Structure 1
Amino acid sequence: MPGLALPSLYAAPRAGRAFCAAAARLAVRSLYIELALYPKPGLVSLVDNGSHRDMHAGTFLRSLFALRHYFVRITRAGMDGAPFPVLRELGIAAERRMLAATGGVNTHRGAIFCLGMLCAAAGWRHGRGMAPSPAGLRRTLLAQWGHALGMHHGGAGGQSHGQRVAALHAVGGARAEMARGLPSVFELALPRLRSTLAAGRGERAARIDALFALMADLGDTNVYHRAGAAGALLVRQSAQAFLARGGTGADGWERMALDCHRRFVARRLSPGGAADLLAATCFVHQLDGMA
């Protein structure tokens, strides 16, 4: 957007620069955690390409490398109290870098949006001496940019696939999720992740349970785009069945998750929206421990 003054990291005090760099490292790490998780129904991992023929783990790694400075810049913009148009411009520039790095493949558009806004909220709070707690991050998202997020219509190219699918199938999509302060992250996935951790089943199991909780509840526009309402129903029902059996607390849970993965691949189902929100959940969980 011409005329917008984008933030310079080097104008920040040293402590501010350190926080921006640390938040960006956590954002990139959260995306890598999501990529490395397996079995992850229909999604690209380090093990296989899931339901995708146009992308693989290397594509995602190139994207991660291209996005690392974006997360620093948007954290800094949040620290400065930047209005939403500035954050949006940073996100659009990050999308261009992602597409250049991946040869035009959309690996992380949803993550650029939701993780970027969480970085901005973390920066805003740090700049005012406030801890980046989950509840605090959500309050900041809604108070500082909630109205603008509700009015957001996507990038410069008009409606995205997700927005068109959301309108067609009357599901919320990423825009509605962000406008409500990421309820799927704060009310659903994060409590599920922490419940599994509290039960002593470890981080991998906690992330699997959080992912299945998201798939069971989310109106994932990625799935609707690829497979319509019937595919979306299958994703939700499969995830609900996994959780009803006890999730990662059940004997043989890995086999059940792998069976689900194979079913999704056979039908080319890919719950990419849930994957983006899982990365956001991992980011919020890790950020909670930062001073």
Structure 2
Amino acid sequence: MNVALKWQSLPGRALHAERLGHLASLCLKLEVKTYPKPGLVSHVDNGAHRDMDAELLCRSADTLAPFFCDLAAAGAGGAGMDRLRAIGVAAERAMLAATEGVNTHRGAIFGLGLLCAAAGYRNAVSVRKSLGRLVSERWDEDILSGPVSLRSHGAVAARRYGAGGARAEAADGFPSVYDIALPALHAARELAPHDEEAVRVQTCMRLIADVTDTNLLHRGGPEGLRFAQASASAFLTAGGVGSSGWRRRAADVHHAFVARNLSPGGSADLLAMALFVDRLDF
């Protein structure tokens, strides 16, 4: 069957895009409403950040909702990377205006934005493929060949230390989401079936332990990355959120990150992406 015959009506696609935009924004706010996350901003404290707090991050997430909606609608319309990139640039400008110049969600605009576009496309053509696979199939070459942000701390660290970074992650279909975060998320629900915050903490720790987070490389170099991964791994090996006293132990890890000015912002973005995909994928 010609997939063009299966495209939804414009009103249906617009409604779906709006829902996707709000879901993406909600997932960003759920990431904020998670404590203890090592070194990261939460509703409890500002972690290793002096320039942002939970209120600012939630304001940023609300500001980005209509842009995530636009990305979903563009994906539903079969847009190429040039169109998606233009929406992303507009989203970043709106974010910086809302936060008075603080980079709260540049990485999430990129990663969650691509997933929104893929979700819009998938719904429009009724294809049963994972969002990550669709991102890779439709836009991988353009992701890798597109302009490199000179302002991104993560991109600078990726170049300096030879790490793959966000672009390689996206072009490959978000393996850190599908192979690390989602299995951790589902396993954590067995450990803490009635505590979604605990589930998010466990998933965040697993991401920190297993991902080469370029934000950690930027702040602490290879030594900081090794410390962060070892600390998160030790928490998980001791039972994670399935063990007694886990909140105190997670808080201790958090405070150790803050003392070293470490913040795994890439893992935070991946957590939000995993929450988004978990709601939508099969």
Bin of the TM-score, shorter chain as denominator length:
over 0.9
Is structure 2 residue 173 aligned with structure 1 residue 176? no
Aligned to 2:142: 148
- Is 1:177–1:183's contact at 8 Å kept on the other side of the alignment? yes
Aligned to 1:203: 196
- Is 2:130–2:281's contact at 8 Å kept on the other side of the alignment? no
| 1:191 counterpart SS class | helix
2:278 & 2:191 partners in 1: Cα distance?
A: 16
TM-score, length of structure 2 as denominator length: 0.93
Offset at residue 172 of structure 1 (A): 1.3
Task: Find 1:271's aligned residue among 227, 239, 264.
Answer: 264
Task: Find 1:217's aligned residue among 210, 214, 218.
Answer: 210
Task: Find 1:227's aligned residue among 213, 217, 220.
Answer: 220
2:33 & 2:13 partners in 1: Cα distance?
A: 30
- Is 1:30–1:282's contact at 8 Å kept on the other side of the alignment? yes
* Length, aligned pairs only: 274
- Is 1:41–1:258's contact at 8 Å kept on the other side of the alignment? yes
Task: Find 1:86's aligned residue among 83, 88, 99.
Answer: 83
Q: How does 1:98-113 map to 2 (within 5 A)?
A: 98-113=95-110
Is structure 2 residue 221 aligned with structure 1 residue 257? no
- Is 1:26–1:287's contact at 8 Å kept on the other side of the alignment? no
Offset at residue 167 of structure 1 (A): 1.3
Is structure 2 residue 16 aligned with structure 1 residue 19? yes
Aligned to 1:65: 62
Offset at residue 65 of structure 1 (A): 2.0
Q: Aligned letter for 1:136?
A: S
| 2:60 counterpart SS class | helix
Aligned to 2:6: none
Offset at residue 31 of structure 1 (A): 0.3
TM-score, length of structure 1 as denominator length: 0.90
| 1:104 counterpart SS class | coil
Query: Which blocks of at least 5 consecutive residues in structure 2 are unaligned?
Result: 1-8
- Is 2:192–2:242's contact at 8 Å kept on the other side of the alignment? no
| 2:244 counterpart SS class | coil
RMSD: 1.6
Aligned to 2:184: 192
The percent identity for this pair of structures is: 47
Query: Which blocks of at least 5 consecutive residues in structure 1 are unaligned?
Result: 1-11
Q: How does 1:31-70 map to 2 (within 5 A)?
A: 31-70=28-67
Worse-superposed segment, 183-192 or 248-257: 248-257
2:61 & 2:177 partners in 1: Cα distance?
A: 21
Q: Aligned letter for 1:129?
A: S
Q: Aligned letter for 1:148?
A: D
Aligned to 1:166: 158
Offset at residue 79 of structure 1 (A): 0.3
1:182 & 1:159 partners in 2: Cα distance?
A: 22
1:31 & 1:223 partners in 2: Cα distance?
A: 20
Worse-superposed segment, 191-200 or 30-39: 191-200
